[in-house]
Amino acid sequence: MKVLVINAGSSSIKYQFLESATGEVLARGVAERIGVGDSVLKHSLNESDPIVFKDDMPDHKVAIQTVLQALVAPEHGVISSMDEIDAVGHRVVHGGENFASSVLITPEVKRAIKSCFELAPLHNPPNLIGIEACEESMPGVPQVAVFDTAFHQSMPAMAYMYALPYGLYEKYSIRRYGFHGTSHSFVSHRAAEIIGKPYESLKIITCHLGNGSSIAAVHNGRCVDTSMGMTPLAGICMGTRCGDIDPAIVTFLIEKEKTDAATVENMLNKESGVLGLSGVSSDFRDLYDAAGIGNKRASLALDMFKYQCRKMIGSYAAAMGGVDAVVFTAGIAENNADIRSGACAGLEYMGIKLDPYKNNATRAKEAIVSTDDSRVKVLIVPTNEELAIARETARICGASSVRSS
């Protein structure tokens, strides 16, 4: 099935057009600066350099139409008519407690996505705008929502509740939701395939370490805990996000700095994490460069990141009563051997034995990097959220009868 995967942000739309069965990417690109002037579409076929169109895109509907024109254009298109788009899969960040799986988009589903606006004010509104722009531009083509939170909906209450007055959960839906679910699901399934054991029989810890980082515990095929919380600010420290801190720091800072909650929240989201600690960068490559020439705060940021990963792996092994596989994915964990070995350091007592040669020799490709006698398998599995969304879309559309005309 040919699926158009859409990731709509407030002023951008990222897309991939792919064959869900084989994973072949027919085209990919991004429409940028939608509605803010000087908009531009960068459209690539396979791995080729992007063709750049400087088209005026005052809103998301025009942006989607520009993407569709690029897909059908005789000179650089990949399909001869829009009829060849079998379905559209949308990344939707927050599904709240409404969705434990991907769904075919209906008016009711759109209302439920809207009801989560407060929980994800930066993401869900543009996600819905992207859905409506596609509905208008491709009437009759099935649209599917794939939620970042869905995979984590299987967590038990003892993992997702906060020890706050219970009424706040009932009134505002305050609880842990978790994010990166599409990635945690994709890489944990793939890890089971690589190990050659049934997914439902394994205890897997997945470490998605990228610009945003989260770790999840997957027990017998179900997510039972994850490090991000009601928002993606929680868990291990990240590029610019603080991760878990004592909540009293927030009120302390508001008082001491004579500032307001929004300013502190912005600082915790955008000026903290390894950037805030090091004062150097949120990019781990810059941190390694700085640490290499003696920058102590860059070294501290790297040490803290590895320590927090290690602590989370240990706590999830405790939560599941053991672990069979630790999986590393996303930009930092796929590319950096030192982060992987730091995250596993000292965990030999749990049966985690990294093979230094395999670990150092592998980058951005699937591999088992533990020793042959390691009781726990340690794997690198590059994530592919677009392919996961395309497959989910094909699964939901299953019957070709979904398309109406």
| Cα dihedral 117/120/121/124 (nearest 10) | -60
**Lookup: tokens for 204:** 């897997």
Q: How far apart are CA 86 and CA 92, in angstroms?
A: 19
Q: How far is the CB of 305 from ligand ADP (least distance, A)?
A: 10
Q: How far apart are CA 251 and CA 47, in angstroms?
A: 49
Q: How far is the CB of 405 from ligand ADP (least distance, A)?
A: 36
Q: Which stretch binds ligand ADP (CB under 6 A): 108-116, 185-193, 210-218, 318-326?
A: 210-218
Q: Which stretch binds ligand ADP (CB under 6 A): 81-89, 146-154, 260-268, 332-340?
A: 332-340
190 versus 219: smaller Cβ distance to ligand ADP: 190
The reply to whether 285 sits near ligand ADP by the rule CB under 6 A is yes
Q: Which stretch binds ligand ADP (CB under 6 A): 29-37, 69-77, 209-217, 367-375?
A: 209-217
Site pattern 161..200 for ligand ADP (x: CB under 6 A): ----------------------------------------
Sheet with 103-104: list strands edge to edge. Answer: 51-53, 40-44, 25-32, 13-19, 2-8, 87-92, 143-147, 103-104
Q: Helix, strand or coil for residue 89?
A: strand
114 versus 285: smaller Cβ distance to ligand ADP: 285
The reply to whether 273 sits near ligand ADP by the rule CB under 6 A is no
Describe the crossing of helices 248-256 and 261-270 by its angle, rounded to 10 degrees.
Answer: 120
The reply to whether 210 sits near ligand ADP by the rule CB under 6 A is yes
148 classed as catalytic:
yes
Strand partners, 147: 92
Q: Can you tell me which of 9, 95, 229, 239 binds ligand ADP, judged by CB under 6 A?
A: 239
Q: How far is the CB of 333 from ligand ADP (least distance, A)?
A: 8
The reply to whether 303 sits near ligand ADP by the rule CB under 6 A is no
The reply to whether 330 sits near ligand ADP by the rule CB under 6 A is yes
132 versus 283: smaller Cβ distance to ligand ADP: 283
Q: Can you tell me which of 142, 212, 235, 276 binds ligand ADP, judged by CB under 6 A?
A: 212
Q: Can you tell me which of 160, 284, 316, 328 binds ligand ADP, judged by CB under 6 A?
A: 284
State the maximum Cα–Cα separation within the chain, in Å, rounded to a whole number. Answer: 64
Find out whether 20 and 394 touch, Cβ atoms under 8 Å. yes
286 versus 348: smaller Cβ distance to ligand ADP: 286
The reply to whether 17 sits near ligand ADP by the rule CB under 6 A is no
Q: Which of 148, 225, 324, 355 is catalytic?
A: 148
Instruction: Find the binding residues for ligand ADP in span 336-355 (CB under 6 A).
Output: 336
Query: What DSSP state is assigned to residue 346?
Result: T
Tell me how far apart the terminal alpha carbons of the chain are, to the nearest angstrom. 18
Q: How far apart are CA 85 and CA 4, in angstroms?
A: 7
Q: How far is the CB of 228 from ligand ADP (least distance, A)?
A: 12
DSSP secondary structure, 353-403, as one string: -B-HHHHHH--SS-EE-B-TT-SBEEEE----HHHHHHHHHHHHHTTGGG-
Q: Which residue is nearest to ligand ADP (CB)?
A: 331
Ramachandran quadrant class, 46 (left: phi over 0; alpha: psi -120 to 50; beta: rest)? left
The set of residues, in sequence order, having a beta carbon less than 8 Å from that of 166 and lying 6+ positions away, is none
Per CB under 6 A, residues contacting ligand ADP are 210-212, 239, 283-285, 330-332, 335-336
- Residues annotated as part of the active site: 148
